[in-house]
Structures are given as structure tokens and as C-alpha cells.
Amino acid sequence: MKYKINNICCIGAGYVGGPTMAVIADKCPNLTVDVVDINEERIKQWNNKDLDRLPIFEPGLSEIVERCRGRNLHFSNFIEEKIRNADIIFISVNTPTKTKGVGAGKASDLKWVEACARQVAKYAIGHTIVVEKSTLPVRTAEVIRSILDSSLKHNRKENKSSTFDVLSNPEFLSEGSAIKDLNDPDRVLIGGENTDSIEALSDIYKNWVSKNKILKTNVWSSELAKLTSNAFLAQRISSINSISALCEKTGADIREVSRAIGSDSRIGSKFLESGPGFGGSCFKKDILNLVYLSEYFGLPEVANFWEGVVKLNNWHQHRISKLIVKRLFGTVSNKKICILGFSFKADTNDTRESSSIAICKDLLEEGAFLKINDPKVDPDQITKDLDINYQNDIYTSEQKSTANEGWSFHRNIYECAEDVDAVVVLTEWEEYKNINWELISKSMRKPAWVFDARSILNSKKVSSTGLNFWRLGKGSK
């Protein structure tokens, strides 16, 4: 039987749920798309008349929201009602690493996914296709399935008719290019058993994605392919970052090495840019999840292999803060350092797992005063990220109080760099590529350093102003 889809509900109005549903609403004007969330503040922000104040910054997103919101795209907290009306429900909630209990530090915490499954089981009516959009450990569909099945007996008693199918449809968008990725994906992956449900979901994507890009697999392959895809991408970054350290020792230049190896069509040029280490909410969490699964299934060699990618990334982030301290005569105590970039990559306001957090914390711990600039990140978010009281307990109380007072936020780059001993570029924002170093140099305390951890500055332009210059994967000039 072919399922007719009129109403879509997405549970979770975050970085995935918001943009993904906005694009579906844009491409499928005949469908009604409801995005629901338990977080009232987030929904208020999605409904903000001022499109500059949506909860997420993504190039191209506000234009789509402007076109579709109130037409066939709606954001609300009416979870029960929207589940009841839906023919298809996307679960797009957070799946962070567990902090407590079995698998703590590695396994994904599925409590939010489980809560969604229970809500769907309770409220859905008729046939509902439940789609895993969140990134989940292999075999999570089984958990969702059994929660939904357990509701069937109850429904029979109550004479309520409901049936379910569970599909896996992981999301591959990258932040900063989410709209472009959603409009023109490399592939759409659908894992499932019931061909009618798979076709119904596939028909939605066919409104703008060509048929040969829609890959259909079994559920477990789809779940595992998502984790593996992120693990492969992160592995490339750890690989190139490991070589950047070797370049600095040997006189090779990481940009030249990247270009040379990326020209091999078997390797390809993407994801070979050395930087301060990968951040973002997913790479680390998804690899650790893969590590946990491998350990669980008795494959310690596989687990160790992938864990190495995360270990290298942690080492690399601390390597950068250490070499900054080393060049500033072995101490940054009471020195001012300008940090350019706090988001985990350019074109997003997201700071989750940003390398800037680890590097700033190291420098604060060493006693530096940080002057921080970012074009999109809210300073309140930085307060949360750098609040070591709130993050972990490895610091003494004395260190905590120093660190919490040790930074200020500046919207203006030139004011941010005034009177500092060093400028450190940590995010590749476009505006940092065109800085007037002549002007900055005049206002810095000498001898002054510029550390380019993103390899985006013109070394000649910086050095010609008398500043000492260090670039990742090349070293000092």
C-alpha cells in the first residue's frame, strides 16, 4: 500500500531539525511541516519576527524561513497535537556522549530519543512512519521499534488503531553550509525494511534530489554508515594535523604537502586543511560511539584504531597552546592575548567542542588575559564555555576564580588586538583574511606575535609590519 504523506512533524528544533525541515517545507509546498521542541525559548527564537535573531545562524536559512514560516512551516511546543496529526515523524533530538553510568565518556546518551519514542507511541494515530534523523548507535531502531510495539497492545485495549514503521535517514549536512548541503546533497540515505515506507520518504526527497542520489540500505547499514562517515572525515583531519607537527620540525610546509597529496585522485583534496583540531558537536561524540560499539562487540583493535583519532585531536589542541606559551618566553602570566574566532568553524555561531575552548582554557590556566572576538558567537555562550566551574573539576578553586575573570569580549577586531602581546587566529572567518596588520602592529605590545592556526593569513603582509609570525604546519618566520 502506498502511504500518502500530508503532514510532517519533526521533534527537535536544533541545528539539524530547523534547517532540514525549512528546506523540506521550501521544496515541498504541498506538505505541512511542524517542528516541535520542549525548549520554549528556542521555539520563541524560531518564531522571532527579526530574522537576524533566529536561534541558528546559517547562510541562506533566514531567507527560507521568511518564505515558508506561517505558510507550511510552523515552529511550536505543541508536541502531542503535532505527533497526532503527523504521517511521518522525524526524530532530530540531541544524542550527546553519556556522562554517567555504563559506557560513560563513549556511548551515546539515548534518553532524549527514548523519550521521543515514548511520546510517539502514546500520541500517534493511524499509520506513522518514524524516521531516525539523529545520529544513533547501530541497532537503535530496534529500541525505538520495541517501545512503539509495546504501545500497540495498550492501544488495542483502548481500541485505538496505530501502526508504525521505523526508518533510518541520517543527516550529512555540515554547519555553515547546511542550506547548500540540504539543497544539493551528495546522497540521501534511507535504511529500512518496509518498501512502502521507504518509498514514501524517498518521494519527499525526490521533489528536489535526483533518484540516483537516494541510496536505500538495511537499517543497520544506514546507522553504521553515518557514524563511519564522520569517523572517516575526522580521521583525515587528525592525519593532516599530525603531519603539520612534523612539517614544523622538518621545514616542510603543510599547505604544500596537502596540495601534493590531495592531487592524487584516490585521496582527493577535501578535508585536508590543517587547523587547530576538529570541533563541532558530532565528530568526537560519533567516533567515541564507534569506539564503544567496537569494544562492546569484542573488537578492541578496531576500538583502539578509532580512539587514536580523538586522542591525536586532543593532543594537537594542547600542542597549539603550549607552543604559544613557549614563544612568549615561556610564560603568558599577566600577558594579554587576542583570540580571533570562537566558533568551531566559520559561518556558524555554534561553539560546541570548538578547539577555541580547549586552547583558551589552557591559556587562562597559564595566567593570560584573553581578549576574544567572534563575528557571530554570543558572549554569553563564551561565558558558559569558559566557565570551568561548570565544565569540569580538574582545576583547583584558585585556578577557577582566576580563569573566570580572565577574559573580555570585543566586537571590533582592532580594539580586540589593542595592547596585546599576541594575536591567535583560531577560526577561519572571512574578515580575518583582510585585517590591516599595519594598524594592528602599531597598537600591540612588542615584541609581538601573530599565531595563525588556520593558515589563512598572508605571512608576508604580517611579517612586513615587524610582527613575529607563526603559521600552523610551517612554524615561525
Q: Please, which residues have CB within 8 angstroms of residue 146's CB and are 6 or more apart in sequence?
A: none
Q: Choosing from 247, 282, 338, 360, which is the catalytic residue?
A: 282
**Of these, 72, 92, 128, 135, which contacts ligand UGA (CB under 6 A)?**
135
Residue 282 annotated to the active site: yes
User: Strands of 475-476's sheet, edge to edge?
Assistant: 407-409, 369-373, 336-340, 422-425, 449-452, 468-471, 475-476
Angle at 178 between CA 371 and CA 273, to 5 degrees: 60
Binding mask 172-201 for ligand UGA (x = CB under 6 A): xxxx--------------------------
**What is d(CA 348, CA 56) in angstroms, rounded to the nearest whole number?**
8
Residues 4-43, interacting with ligand NAD (CB under 6 A): 11-17, 36-39, 42
Q: What is the 3-state secondary structure (H, E, C) of 147-170?
A: HHHHHHHHHHHHCCCEEEEEEECC
> According to the binding rule CB under 6 A, does residue 289 interact with ligand NAD?
no
CA 423, distance to chain mean position in Å, is 25
Phi, psi of 362, rounded to the nearest 5 degrees = -60, -45
Q: How far apart are CA 280 and CA 352, in angstroms?
A: 5
For ligand NAD, the binding residues in 138-197 under the rule CB under 6 A are 171, 173, 175
- Contacted entry of ligand UGA, ligand NAD, none for residue 151, CB cut-off 5 to 8 Å set by kind: none
281 lines the binding site for ligand NAD (CB under 6 A): yes
| Binding pattern for the stretch 62-101 against ligand UGA, x by CB under 6 A and - elsewhere | ----------------------------------------
65 φ/ψ sector (left φ>0, alpha ψ -120 to 50, else beta): alpha
Scanning residues 275 to 334, which ones bind ligand UGA (CB under 6 A)?
275, 278-280, 282-283
Q: Which does 375 bind (CB under 5 to 8 A by kind): ligand UGA, ligand NAD, none?
A: none
Footprint of ligand UGA on 332-391 (CB under 6 A)? 344-345
The answer for residues whose C-beta is within 8 angstroms of residue 400's C-beta and 6 or more apart is 388, 389
Cβ 385 to ligand NAD shortest distance, Å:
15
> How distant, in Å, are the alpha carbons of 108, 138, 278, 291 from that of 305?
19, 19, 17, 9
CB of 337 to ligand NAD, least distance (A): 29
Residue ranges in 213-272 that form contacts with ligand UGA under rule CB under 6 A: 230, 233, 237, 271-272
Query: Residue 90, interface with ligand NAD (CB under 6 A)?
Result: no
Give yes or no for residue 57 binding ligand NAD (CB under 6 A): no
- Look at the chain and count its residues: 477
H-helix or E-strand containing 247? helix 219-250
Tell me whether residue 168 or residue 441 sits nearer to ligand NAD (CB atom).
168
- CB of residue 258 vs ligand UGA: minimum separation in angstroms? 8
* Catalytic (active-site) positions: 282
Using CB under 6 A, list all residues that contact ligand UGA. 135, 171-175, 230, 233, 237, 271-273, 275, 278-280, 282-283, 344-345
